[in-house]
Amino acid sequence: MNLQSGLFFALTLLFQSSLMAQPKVKYSPAWFGPNANPVPEFTGAIIPSKTQFTVMSDVYFGYGDFTLSGRFKVEVPLIPEYVAIKVWCTPFEYFKVTPALADNRDMLKAEGVAIGDYYVQTRIRVMQESKRGVDMVINTTLKTASGTGQPNKRYFNTAGYYFDFELGKSFELGAASKTKMRLSTDLGFMSWDVSANTQDDALMYGAKISFMGPRWESITTLAGYWGWMHTHEKYGADFGDVPLVISTKLIYTKNDYSIFAQYQYGIQNFQYHQIRIGTKFSFQKLTPDFSKLSKSN
């Protein structure tokens, strides 16, 4: 073996050993921060009639991870109650984890800040509730790879998407008290990149029960998704792509203004407690009115 061949062989072995030494990142909720790939929220098959702007603050604790984050959400009905576009993001996140969790996740830093991913969703109402029928809304959602903090296991830095449909139906509980109960479900398909050639695919599911009065609403939700990678021996049963959460939310509404508070508990692969407070504004003036354009033409 000449010197050139020996040097090439040595570099090849060094490169292969360095690849083997690199830790394999597990792109799942169990190994990242709580905002990385959370269980998607669903509305109960309702598209608003006015543009809505929501701001909220979340505190996550437990699991050795304390996270404080802010989030905004904008939903614009292009056709009120029938077609809408929704955008949301976590523009700021502060985190602090225990040294043991930082080592377990192979984090670069145990404390710091990060910026979250942008989500863009289109929503279409394809069925309207009737005496025997239900509301049905189909959602198509894109998750961008815009988040930061991947070395600290805060966001995936990979793209993803999901498709789901919501079903909902309301029931009168009392005409005098003007109270209703609404039952809704969600079912869909989610996918996100875990490497250049591999995607984790998951079945999404959820159920929601709401009780509504003239100015208040209480909502209880059970939701999750089921990825395939934890079932494959190559990735291991601890891959952690089967999150399941339950939450309860209280809302007070007056005219075009709402305030709300929520508590969420992670049952599986998302062992965080979450406390969320926020407010929502509705704007008629910011709602597109294409009927005016047709009249002008």
Domains of the chain by range and CATH? 27-296 (2.40.160.40)
Beta-carbon contacts of residue 187 (< 8 Å; ≥ 6 apart): 164, 165, 203, 204, 205, 206
The torsion angles phi and psi of 293, rounded to 5 degrees, stand at -65, -40
Q: For residue 17, name the pLDDT band (cuts at 50, 70, 90).
A: very low
Assigned token pair, 91: 């523009």
Q: How confident is the model at residue 25 (pLDDT cuts 50, 70, 90)?
A: confident
- State yes or no: pLDDT of 14 exceeds 70: no
Prediction pTM value: 0.88
Mean pLDDT of 122-129: 97
The 10s digit of each residue's pLDDT in 211-262 is: 999 999 999 999 999 999 999 999 999 999 999 999 999 999 999 999 999 9
Task: Supply the DSSP string of 108-130, one letter for each residue.
Answer: S-SEEEE---EEEEEEEEEE---
